[in-house]
Amino acid sequence: MQYGCIAEHLGHSFSKKIHALLGKYSYELLELAPDELDAFMKKRDFRGINVTIPYKKSVLPYLDEADESVRRIGAANTLVNRDGKLYGYNTDFYGMCALLSHLGLDLKGKKVAILGTGGTSRTAFAVAEHLQAGRILLVSRTQKEDACSYETLVHEHADVQILINTTPVGMYPHLEGIPVDPDCFPRLEGVVDAVYNPLRSRLVLQAKKRGIPAEGGLWMLVAQGVRASEHFLNTTYPQDTVGRVYSEVLRQTQNIVLIGMPGSGKSTVGARLAGTLGREFFDSDELIVARAGKSIPQIFAEDGEAAFRDLESKVIRELLAAKSGAVIATGGGAVLREENVDALRQNGRIYFLDRPLKDLTATSDRPLASDRAAIEARYAERYARYCQCADVRVDGSGSIEAVADRIEKEFVSTL
């Protein structure tokens, strides 16, 4: 292996995408069982590797040299083989600092709670110290000598100003997890989550709903990857490299989600957009029909609207947990449930296809929009909701090609 990343599990990793954008070198993802690590490290058959869970501490005995960040944190995530000698670095420290700076958070004098006590937690603690935080709390599932429990955090430290999550709670494939409710902290000024898949964890989404600056771990991942590549190649990249690579990885991995009225063209526009961009296309209504084995009018007639909505929510959760970088068309009523909007937003940018009411056509296959009066009623009920849920409102008038082109231009230009 020339360059790569080792871990026990790497199914969720974006590292290969990042390094493909940085240099013309081979970068592989290698999953190693714990009993395979020793032989791999002793062989030293690589030029440079990134190391992630659970081996950041396990690789330390194999190092010939370690920089100050490794000695300070007690973990290494970047190893470079120079003429048979292994040099260790902790580029996560740089990545965490870069993420906090990107979000505009100043930790000086602030009360900071770090969720988790693993390797990334130690990195976050070192960063918080470096940035002169006023008080730093480590938080564990159980009360420890050097860490408080979540219960203690909520009841005795409600004045926390910065939350940093270093646990895997909320990470793919368990997207619904949340380590702590940010509403428990009325003085909260910022939330950082090291989880990057999904792009926006439930913790991040909950904070954003309160208007609190919050960000997932993708910027940190890219920043540490850039610094690791600099160590690999003994080079220095231009200052804008992190932002450039971040935007491209976000473009590749973020779903384009279409919401809007029945008959607004979500399916046809979505299919066109997916074809142009070379992405997979999914229609949630089609997936519901396939799952139920009957048409949507049949589901409504035989099982009722509530059963349909339950199935719709389940399909959306499963789809969003499994897919990234896709185009997804939703049913007209998908946004009526907040849980659906949250799921769509975790890995997606939401576009409201705002087609004029006069251009919406009633059809018999849409139980709640089967005639003109029903279409007008749904439009009056839902228009404000579509606007509220969307990241972008798109003019839905004109041809399929024109609408798809508007979405494509906005999606590319804003990343």
DSSP labels, 128-184:
HHHTTBSEEEEEESS--SS-EEHHHHHHH-TT--EEEE-S-TT-TT-TT--SS-GGG
Please, what is the end-to-end C-alpha distance for the chain in angstroms?
33
CA-CA distance, 350 to 324, in Å (whole number)? 14
Which DSSP symbol is given to 240? T
φ, ψ of residue 402 in degrees (nearest 5): -65, -45
| Residue 149 vs residue 53, higher pLDDT | 149
Assess contact for 215 and 240: CB atoms under 8 A. Answer: no
389-403 mean pLDDT: 96
Question: Exposure string (b/e) for 289-310, b if CB count within 10 Å is 16 or more?
Answer: beebeeebeebeeeeeeeebbe
Assess contact for 261 and 54: CB atoms under 8 A. Answer: no
Assess contact for 249 and 243: CB atoms under 8 A. Answer: no
Give the neighbor-by-neighbor strand order of the sheet with 162-165.
Answer: 148-149, 135-140, 111-115, 162-165, 190-193, 214-215
For tokens 């790569």, what's the residue? 4
Predicted pLDDT at 279: 97
Predicted pLDDT at 23: 80
**If pLDDT is split at 50, 70 and 90, which confidence band does 413 have?**
confident
Q: Is 42 a catalytic residue?
A: no
Q: What is the dihedral of CA 255, 9, 207, 341, to 10 degrees?
A: 30
53-74 mean pLDDT: 94
pTM strictly above 0.85 = yes
pLDDT digit string (tens) for 272-291? Answer: 999 999 999 999 999 999 99
Closest CA to 353 of 276, 255, 277, 263: 263
Which DSSP symbol is given to 105? -
CA-CA distance, 279 to 294, in Å (whole number)? 27
Question: Exposure string (b/e) for 337-368, b if CB count within 10 Å is 16 or more?
Answer: eeebbbbbbbbbbbbbbbbeeeebebeeebbb
pLDDT digit string (tens) for 353-390? Answer: 999 999 998 888 888 888 899 999 999 999 999 999 99
Closest CA to 284 of 307, 309, 305: 309
Single-letter residue type at 36: E
Asked if the model's pLDDT at residue 50 lies above 70, the reply is: yes
pLDDT digit string (tens) for 183-236? Answer: 999 999 999 999 999 999 999 999 999 999 999 999 999 999 999 999 999 999
Number of Cβ within a 10 Å radius of residue 238: 7
Which residues are CB-contacts of 409 (< 8 A; sequence separation ≥ 6)? none
* CA–centroid distance for 87 within its chain: 31
Domains of the chain and any CATH numbers: 3-93+221-250 (3.40.50.10860), 105-212 (3.40.50.720), 254-413 (3.40.50.300)
Question: Is residue 198 reached through a cis peptide bond, with omega within 30 degrees of 0 on the bond before it?
Answer: yes
CA-CA distance, 15 to 192, in Å (whole number)? 20
CA-CA distance, 224 to 218, in Å (whole number)? 10
Length of the chain counted residue by residue: 415
Mean pLDDT for all residues in the chain: 95
Pick the catalytic residue from 24, 42, 56, 57.
56
Asked if the model's pLDDT at residue 254 lies above 80, the reply is: yes
Asked if the model's pLDDT at residue 296 lies above 70, the reply is: yes
Predicted pLDDT at 415: 62
Which DSSP symbol is given to 357? G
37-45 mean pLDDT: 96
Closest CA to 242 of 46, 87, 47, 96: 96
- Judged by DSSP in three states, 188 sits in coil
Predicted pLDDT at 207: 97
Asked if the model's pLDDT at residue 414 lies above 80, the reply is: no
Asked if the model's pLDDT at residue 395 lies above 80, the reply is: yes
Asked if the model's pLDDT at residue 59 lies above 90, the reply is: yes
